[in-house]
Amino acid sequence: LNRRLDGLGTTIFAEMSALAQRTGAINLGQGFPDTDGPEEIREAAVRALRDGRGNQYPPGPGVPELREAVAAHQARFYGTCFDPDTEVLVTAGATEAVAASMLALLEPGDEVIAFEPYYDSYTACIAMAGARHVPLPLRAPDFRPDLDALRDALTPRTRLLLLNSPHNPTGTVLTRAEASAVAELAVAHDLLVVTDEVYEHLVFEGAHHPLISFPGMRERTVSISSAGKTFSFTGWKVGWVTGSAALVSAVRTAKQYLTFVSSGPFQHAVAEALRLPGTHFSALREDLRRKKEILSAGLEEAGFTVYRPQGTYFVTADIGPLGEEDDVTFCLRLPERCGVVAVPHSVFYDDPGTGRGLVRFAFCKQDGVLREATERLKTLR
């Protein structure tokens, strides 16, 4: 393994899911729903496979029907306009979109500012591009971004802000005022911005404000999302990028040499999914809001301090009140102690000491599974 990837090892999500499988524990670690997405969209995938749509290489930028559906989705929810031919690119999930964006937009030695705790692929992709990751802390109890700290983190080498809202793992959703302030800073310092919006439809408090819709941001922002969370098909790996033709074309250049294309028949099915009525999106959100509450209340009863998220699949809990200190030890022993898997926060920080004592639980699971998990967690006391 080269020095750029030194220390990146196996992702924490794969490690924790393997632990869940080995021990038969309830997996509240890796964020994937235990109920598949809409039947009609699965049927659409079957039809595409059967009718031979997408069984051979789809077009490089993605099938036209999906690019049009992505553009229509952005217009419907955010009032933003993108040309499906030049300003939309289909990727192998948001993961590839992040990787291709970093590889396309960064020079070796550039600095990239991203919230800390951070989604693990960010550090890896920044490192693969030869750039340097500069963390911007979101700290308990409220995990808000500190705009003065952001200003202080800027240097002449700062090239790009990689921003995730709704944020994994804290569940922070940028307010309009915060998003607007970040946008102003990006414009003032002529920065590129890449936004990871995979949880855009999972907002329980406030609203999602895409940074690309703020003044001066259209030409400097690469906006990323995917079908995994919005339609509960994390295995399909259909994602997309929207932005100016110049930026999307740059990302596409890198993307061509990563996967070239992917998920042919699923692209057709996701096009249908993006056209689902508003009730799909609101029902999903309300469903997850209820699950968040079941898990959060159960964790509180079990003695954790709970930081309720404004969005996403995840709730963060402090293990201090249980007399525990080390999140990694706690998570490694949790399956044998009570048959539950969770993810330690400290893996999401440059200095693991910062996240020590915090644990992330996923609530994208059936209500009964969440209730059973919290009953088990109550035996820890």
Nearest to ligand PMP of 102, 302 (CB atom): 102
Q: Is 11 in the site for ligand GLN (CB under 6 A)?
A: yes
Neighbours of 305 (CB within 10 A): 17
Nearest to ligand GLN of 133, 268 (CB atom): 133
Q: What angle do CA 55, 60, 64 make, to 5 degrees?
A: 75
Burial class (CB in 10 A: 0-12, 13-18, 19+), 95: buried
Interface region with ligand PMP, contact rule CB under 6 A, candidates 51-59, 212-220, 223-231, 251-259: 223-231
**208-239 burial: b if 16+ Cβ within 10 Å, else e:** bbbbbbbeebbebbbbbbbbbbbbbbbebbbb
Tokens of 354: 């910062």
Nearest residue to 210 (alpha-carbon basis) of 13, 70, 39, 367? 70
CB of 190 to ligand GLN, least distance (A): 31
CB of 309 to ligand PMP, least distance (A): 12
Distance CA 94, CA 378 (A): 36
CB of 196 to ligand PMP, least distance (A): 5
Q: Which of residues 110-169 bind ligand PMP (CB under 6 A)?
A: 119, 164, 168
Nearest to ligand GLN of 31, 243 (CB atom): 31
Of the residues 27, 101, 226, 310, which one makes contact with ligand PMP according to CB under 6 A: 226
CB of 176 to ligand GLN, least distance (A): 25
Kindly state the number of chain residues that form the binding site for ligand PMP, as judged by CB under 6 A.
15
CB of 107 to ligand PMP, least distance (A): 24
Q: How far is CA 322 from CA 39, 180, 303, 352, in A?
A: 42, 39, 6, 20
CB of 290 to ligand GLN, least distance (A): 20
Burial class (CB in 10 A: 0-12, 13-18, 19+), 107: exposed
Of the residues 134, 198, 212, 359, which one makes contact with ligand PMP according to CB under 6 A: 198
Orientation of helix 264-274 relative to helix 39-50, angle to 10° = 140
Q: Which of residues 85-114 bind ligand GLN (CB under 6 A)?
A: none
Q: Is 168 in the site for ligand GLN (CB under 6 A)?
A: yes
Of the residues 196, 272, 318, 327, which one makes contact with ligand PMP according to CB under 6 A: 196
Distance CA 190, CA 216 (A): 10
CB of 375 to ligand PMP, least distance (A): 27
In the chain, the amino acid numbered 24 is G
CB of 348 to ligand GLN, least distance (A): 9
Q: Considering CB distances under 5 to 8 angstroms, the limit depending on partner class, which of ligand GLN, ligand PMP, none binds residue 93?
A: ligand PMP
Of the residues 95, 165, 172, 374, which one makes contact with ligand PMP according to CB under 6 A: 95
Interface region with ligand PMP, contact rule CB under 6 A, candidates 79-87, 106-114, 226-234, 330-338: 226-234
CB of 30 to ligand GLN, least distance (A): 5
Nearest residue to 157 (alpha-carbon basis) of 109, 114, 106? 109
Q: Considering CB distances under 5 to 8 angstroms, the limit depending on partner class, which of ligand GLN, ligand PMP, none binds residue 30?
A: ligand GLN
Interface region with ligand PMP, contact rule CB under 6 A, candidates 103-111, 234-242, 285-293, 370-378: 234-242
Distance CA 193, CA 113 (A): 10
Interface characters, 20-49, with ligand GLN (x: CB under 6 A): ----------xx------------------
Q: Is 27 in the site for ligand PMP (CB under 6 A)?
A: no
Tokens of 333: 């022993």
Tell me 107's DSSP state: P
Residue ranges of the alpha helices (H) in 87-243?
A: 93-105, 120-128, 147-153, 176-188, 227-231
Neighbours of 155 (CB within 10 A): 10
Binding site for ligand GLN (CB under 6 A): 11, 13, 30-31, 168
Binding site for ligand PMP (CB under 6 A): 31, 93-95, 119, 164, 168, 196, 198, 226, 228-229, 234, 237, 239
